[in-house]
């Protein structure tokens, strides 16, 4: 119901939202509203971080780290890239930022030098190396090292979920955030990705709002709940929690 309402509003916004480039340099169509949600989050986040007091330092730290993926997303989706190579650079930055934010969240929960944080950081570093190798070769970033990228996404997603289940004081909230995160990435893999095996068009507006944009909304909800969850803790609690790995 909520998603249907959002789609209805998105459809009404089509006539007022500026129409930017209709395709990415690799030929993939760019839905009309793609990226504008990210811009709204960046603007709201910048105002909140600069104007509002944040009494909880861990919550602010997580918000600052999370905002990075939205800033990079704006550059990727809203800025026209003049060449295919520049598009690959922007895509590499986008994929790396997603992995980086996973590591930030795990570090905020368990500490910089915990085993969980080290494992996640290693995954981010490995992903970044594959991006640099692909760019150096002039290869399509999206098609290179796909198995390794998927394995890293699964590892970081499950690791962060385990950390949140262990750390969030409210067991229901911790489990809910973890399950929603897993559901969001399952939706992305099977419905919202470029090679999705399921073609489900529920909650979409063809040409303006596609399944991948639904995934962006789900990710935003997850991030909001993660900020709510970290706000229920204090630094000594967070540093003492985590799965056995941490």
Query: What integer is the mean pLDDT of 8-29?
Result: 74
Supply 154's token pair. 């699964």
Query: What's the token pair of residue 183?
Result: 């559901």
Residues 6+ apart with CB under 8 A from 110: 116, 117, 163, 167, 238, 239, 241, 242, 246
For residue 228, the model assigns a pLDDT of 92
At 182-240, the pLDDT tens digits run 999 999 999 998 888 888 888 888 899 999 999 999 999 999 999 999 988 866 555 55
Q: At what angle do helices 211-230 and 84-110 cross, to 10 degrees?
A: 30
Comparing CA positions, the residue from 215, 190, 189 lying closest to residue 31 is 215
What residues contact 143, with CB distance under 8 A and at least 6 apart? none
* 18-22, 72-76, 173-177, 208-212: segment of lowest average pLDDT: 18-22
The pLDDT assigned to 7 comes to 56
Does residue 64 contact residue 242 with C-beta atoms inside 8 Å? no
Res 153: pLDDT: 94
Stretch 144-157: mean pLDDT, rounded?
95
32-85 pLDDT tens trace: 999 999 999 999 999 999 987 887 888 999 999 999 999 999 999 999 999 999
Any bridge partners for residue 205, and if so which?
209
Across the chain, mean pLDDT equals 88
pTM: 0.88
More confident call, 181 vs 245? 181
Render pLDDT for 92-141 as a digit per residue (tens, 0 to 9).
Answer: 999 999 999 999 999 999 888 889 999 999 999 999 999 999 999 999 99
The CA distance from 120 to 124, in Å, is: 6
Cα–Cα distance for residue pair 100/196, rounded to 1 Å: 24
Kindly state the tokens that stand for 233: 């803790």
Cα–Cα distance, 91 to 209 (Å, whole number):
20
Please check whether residue 126 is in contact with residue 108, taking contact to mean a CB–CB distance below 8 angstroms: no
Rounded to whole angstroms, how far apart are CA atoms 215 and 137? 31
């Amino acid at each position: 119901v909520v998603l249907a309402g959002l789609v209805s509003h998105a459809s009404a916004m089509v006539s007022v939202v500026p129409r930017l480039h209709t395709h990415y340099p690799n030929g993939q169509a760019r839905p009309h509203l793609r990226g504008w949600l990210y811009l709204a989050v960046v603007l709201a986040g910048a105002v909140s971080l600069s104007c509002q007091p944040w009494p909880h330092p861990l919550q602010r730290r997580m918000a600052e780290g999370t905002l990075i993926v939205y800033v990079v997303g704006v550059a990727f989706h809203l800025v026209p890239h003049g060449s295919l190579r520049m598009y690959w650079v922007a895509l590499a930055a986008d994929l790396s930022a997603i992995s980086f934010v996973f590591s930030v969240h795990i570090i905020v929960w368990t500490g910089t030098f915990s085993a969980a944080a080290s494992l996640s950081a290693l995954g981010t570093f490995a992903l970044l190396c594959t991006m640099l190798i692909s760019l150096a070769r002039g290869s399509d970033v999206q098609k290179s090292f796909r198995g390794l990228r998927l394995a890293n996404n699964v590892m970081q997603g499950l690791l962060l979920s385990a950390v949140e289940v262990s750390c969030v004081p409210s067991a229901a909230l911790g489990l809910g955030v973890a399950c929603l995160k897993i559901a969001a990435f399952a939706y992305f893999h099977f419905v919202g990705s470029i090679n999705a095996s399921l073609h489900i068009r529920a909650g979409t507006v063809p040409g303006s709002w596609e399944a991948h944009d639904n995934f962006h909304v789900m990710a935003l909800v997850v991030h909001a709940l993660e900020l709510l969850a970290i706000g229920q803790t204090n630094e000594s609690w967070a540093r003492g929690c985590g799965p056995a790995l941490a």
